[in-house]
Amino acid sequence: MFVLTRLVPGGPLERALNEAAMAASDGTIGTSFEHTGPGGSTLSEDQMEQMAEYYQFDKNPFYGYVLWLGNICRFNLGYSTKYHKPVWDIIRSRLPISLFYGVATLILTYGVCIPLGIVKAIKHRTVFDNISSAVVFTGYAIPSYVVAIALLTLFASDAGLGLGWFPLSGFVSSDFGSLSPVGKVLDVLYHAVLPLIAYVAGSFAFMTMLMKNSLMDNLAADYVRTAIAKGLNFRTAIFNHALRNSLIPIATSFGNNLSLIITGSFLIETIFNIDGFGLLGFESLVDRDYPVVMGIIVISSLLFLLGNILSDICVAIVDPRVKFGADGSNQ
């Protein structure tokens, strides 16, 4: 049931979203025309009309919307007004970089948080727990872009207090092409250290505390007590009994990471000047390159939907009570 309710609105969901986005873009283009209009525009009336026809502003909004939706279904996101290339090509060329950071963040976050959460739950109220809690909370309180800026001033800038250990910006060095394969890998990693820390800092605290709390809840549950009373040692009780159950909340939030990869990143990408998806979104907005903006919205909401589905699948894998199409015991 749960899965079904999520899947069914897929159709109207996209439609409503596009509608909202379309309204926004209609408005924006309207004003951008006003901007160029009185300001001694270089476009003649004829050209304006031509452009209006090209972007189908001459037809009524609803018709234009249906047309646009039809194009989306055929993966035709239109042409960028700035680059004069299909939007899809531009987005595709930026996607690997964002994907690299996204996947690396995902691996790092889960790789660090789950073990740390387990250790913290077992060693609850010890010195280790308290110290790591302080670190984790600091990370939780500060938004990732502030972390990024702080890191940049401390470790990348060579002026003032900076140490100048890491590059200021970019994904690779300018002489990337001339490097050996090993050198290339090292170069990417060298550039990735600071942004990755900033990425991980955001989701890190939440995940660790989620893991710790849910494991502690489970450790206090009767079935773990029974298992220990039965003669199992503590370690087996945790790893065979409690751990699997406490992974359920973690699995629920897994899919959200997919959209986080894209939408959460544009601040960090702007700060570190990484030529990824987020920076593209920001630049196209500044340049009023609306087809690209629309394309990004469409893709990120598709990813969000995909993420929801992925979460449901993850929950179904971890939680044996949830079956597809069966009753929604996880509601």
Strand (E) positions, 88-160? none
Q: Is 271 in the site for other proteins (CB under 8 A)?
A: yes
Judged by CB under 8 A, the chain residues 209 through 238 that form the site for other proteins are 216-217, 219-220, 224
Map residue 169 onto helix, strand or coil: coil
Which residues share a beta bridge with 79? Answer: 86
Q: Which of 5, 50, 130, 240 binds other proteins (CB under 8 A)?
A: 5
Contact characters 137-176, other proteins, x per CB under 8 A: xx-xxxx-xx--xx-xx---x-xxxx-----x--------
Judged by CB under 8 A, the chain residues 105 through 134 that form the site for other proteins are 121, 124-125
Identity of the residue, 97 or 294, whose beta carbon is nearer to other proteins in the bound complex: 294
Q: Which of 318, 302, 280, 249 is nearest to 72 (CA)?
A: 302
Q: Is 27 in the site for other proteins (CB under 8 A)?
A: yes
Structure tokens at 235: 């370690």
Q: Is 33 in the site for other proteins (CB under 8 A)?
A: no
* Residue 6: how many other CB atoms lie within 10 Å: 15
Identity of the residue, 179 or 232, whose beta carbon is nearer to other proteins in the bound complex: 232
What residues contact residue 279 under an 8 Å CB cut-off, 6+ apart?
Answer: 94, 266, 269, 270, 273
Residue 69, classified by CB atoms within 10 Å of its CB into exposed (0-12), middle (13-18) or buried (19+), is: middle
CB 183, min distance to other proteins, A: 27
Q: Is 72 in the site for other proteins (CB under 8 A)?
A: no
Q: Among 66-74, 87-95, 288-296, 309-317, which window interacts with other proteins (CB under 8 A)?
A: 288-296
Q: Among 103-111, 193-201, 295-303, 309-317, which window interacts with other proteins (CB under 8 A)?
A: 295-303
Q: Which of 64, 62, 44, 42 is nearest to 53 (CA)?
A: 64
Polymer length in residues for the chain = 331
Amino acid at 215: L
Structure tokens at 33: 């025309």
b (16+ CB within 10 A) / e for 144-181: bbebbbebbeebbeeeeeeeeebbeeebbbeeeeeeee
CB 280, min distance to other proteins, A: 12
**Interface residue list for other proteins (CB under 8 A):** 5-6, 9, 12-13, 16-17, 20-21, 24-25, 27-28, 31, 121, 124-125, 137-138, 140-143, 145-146, 149-150, 152-153, 157, 159-162, 168, 216-217, 219-220, 224, 259, 262-263, 266-267, 270-271, 281-282, 285-286, 288, 293, 296-297, 300-301, 304-305
